[in-house]
Amino acid sequence: MALLEVENLQVHFRTPVGVNRAVDGVSFHVNEGETLAIVGESGCGKSVTSMSLLRLIPEPPGKIAGAIRFGGKDLLALSEKEMRAIRGNDISMIFQEPMTSLNPVLTVGRQIGETLRLHQGLDAKAAEDKAVEMLTLVGIPAPARRVREYPHQLSGGMRQRVMIAIALACNPKLLIADEPTTALDVTIQAQILDLMRDLKQRVGAAIVLITHDLGVVAEVAERVMVMYAGRKVEEAPVRELFANPRHPYTQGLLGAVPKLGSSLTQESSRLAEIPGQVPSLTRPIVGCVFAGRCAIATDICRAYAPALEPKGPRHAAACHYALKEAAAA
């Protein structure tokens, strides 16, 4: 059985210019111990999706509809108090900005220990001991000294390690990582990804990884879901997606990644770009959400929204023209 099942998730925000349909009818699932990557460019609704899993969307102006079932329980039906018992305990989250996501006036140990005291009822002493243990686990040198330090005394990479330590302190079943490496140097990125992969094996948590970095996806994810303008446009196992992208948007994303060994002077190896920008989500979109930027769009695309259809083994895409087999494309 799937650990997390999201069905027809809709996250809408009331704004002065109309209702913003940030996420509009997205369904997906995550199996136990699995890593699902959600990719897409800025504003496609991937962060909103991740925040809504923990019900961290302020309501109002936001509104979450659909169903989010975690271990069989519908999270949207829980009271705020029941939801709090899940946050940081069964499901925890790592954020994009390690520089600003830690509280600057509380010690690192306090911030790690807090979840332990809250969810596992540890006393202050035991929580601090466990915090030292967690810092050791995430590879921070001199953990006994570091627990007493404040975030500003740590580097960006160290802070993200602390965030991971906070997130993993209560042995969550599901870890949501929202662009965990985006704000870090490339070398630190690699270290953090290694750490996440390593800890995943040890802790056995499932991961929902939100990113726009396809390199990160290739390295850690098992399955990929591509989002565009608040909808899911394609989903496939990671190898399958990289080998046979069906949706023109996914093809565009992959085309925009520089390849090793290509030179800028060769015309053929120029990076492809996806022209145009994400459509406004405050107006209802008729037809395919990607039609306005799609090179192969026709009148059908502009009139009817394509349904998400199977395009291969465990592979689905929402495109009128994505053919069943890659060979035909």
Partner 1 sequence: MLGYILRRTLSTIPVMAMVGLFVFSLLYIAPGDPAAVIAGDQASPEDIARIRANLGLDRPFLVQFGEWGWRTLHADLGTSIFTGLPVTQMIGQRIEPTLSLMVLTLIFAIVVSVPMGVVAAWKAGTWIDRGIMTFAVLGFSVPVFVIGYVLAYVFALQLDWFPVQGYTPITQGLGPWLGNLVLPALSLGCVYIALIARITRASMLEVLAQDYVRTAKAKGLGQKDVLFLHALKNAAVPIVTVIGIGIALLIGGAVVTESVFAIPGLGRLTVDAILRRDYPVIQGVVLLFSFVYVLVNLVIDILYTFLDPRIRY
> Binding pattern to partner 1, positions 252-271, x when CB under 8 A?
--------------------
Considering the complex, what minimum distance in angstroms separates the CB of residue 158 from partner 1? 16
Considering the complex, what minimum distance in angstroms separates the CB of residue 278 from partner 1? 23
Considering the complex, what minimum distance in angstroms separates the CB of residue 49 from partner 1? 15
Considering the complex, what minimum distance in angstroms separates the CB of residue 141 from partner 1? 21
Q: What burial class does residue 129 get, using C-beta atoms within 10 Å of its C-beta: 0-12 exposed, 13-18 middle, 19+ buried?
A: middle
Nearer to partner 1, 54 or 301 (CB): 54
Considering the complex, what minimum distance in angstroms separates the CB of residue 86 from partner 1? 7
User: Cα dist. 76→9, 31, 134 in Å?
Assistant: 10, 20, 31
| Distance in angstroms (rounded) separating the CA atoms of residues 275 and 328 | 25
Q: Interacting stretch for partner 1, rule CB under 8 A, among 110-118, 229-237, 263-271, 283-291?
A: 110-118
| Contact indicator for 112, 135 with CB cutoff of 8 Å | yes
Residue of 106, 144, 256, 286 that binds partner 1 (CB under 8 A) = 106
Q: What is the DSSP code (8-state) at residue 87?
A: B
Q: Interacting stretch for partner 1, rule CB under 8 A, among 32-40, 112-120, 250-258, 274-282?
A: 112-120
* Under rule CB under 8 A, residue 63 binds partner 1: no
* Under rule CB under 8 A, residue 182 binds partner 1: no
Q: Interacting stretch for partner 1, rule CB under 8 A, among 101-109, 135-143, 201-209, 216-224?
A: 101-109
Please count the residues of this chain forming the interface with partner 1, following the rule CB under 8 A: 27
> Binding pattern to partner 1, positions 114-153, x when CB under 8 A?
xx--xx------------------------------x-x-
Could you give phi then psi for residue 175, rounded to 5 degrees? -115, 125
For residue 253 the two structure tokens come to 């994303």
Q: Interacting stretch for partner 1, rule CB under 8 A, among 113-121, 203-211, 216-224, 278-286?
A: 113-121
Q: What are the respective helix, strand and coil percentages of the chain, to the nearest 5?
A: 35, 25, 40
| Contact indicator for 159, 191 with CB cutoff of 8 Å | no
Residues 79-98 interacting with partner 1 (rule: CB under 8 A): 84-89, 92-93, 95, 97
* Under rule CB under 8 A, residue 104 binds partner 1: yes
For residue 118, how far is the Cα from the chain centroid? 26
Residue of 18, 74, 77, 100 that binds partner 1 (CB under 8 A) = 100
Considering the complex, what minimum distance in angstroms separates the CB of residue 101 from partner 1? 4
| Distance in angstroms (rounded) separating the CA atoms of residues 25 and 43 | 16
Element (H or E) spanning 10, and its range? strand 2-15
For residue 299 the two structure tokens come to 């009148």
Q: Interacting stretch for partner 1, rule CB under 8 A, among 23-31, 78-86, 199-207, 226-234?
A: 78-86
Residues 21-60 interacting with partner 1 (rule: CB under 8 A): 54, 56
Three-class secondary structure of residue 320 per DSSP: coil
User: Cα dist. 244→65, 112, 209, 310, 328 in Å?
Assistant: 33, 42, 21, 13, 11
Pairing of strands 206-211, 91-94: unpaired
Mutual angle of helices 108-120 and 124-137, in 10-degree steps: 120
For residue 171 the two structure tokens come to 């042995």
Could you list the residues that contact partner 1 (CB under 8 A)? Answer: 54, 56, 84-89, 92-93, 95, 97, 100-106, 114-115, 118-119, 150, 152, 163, 166
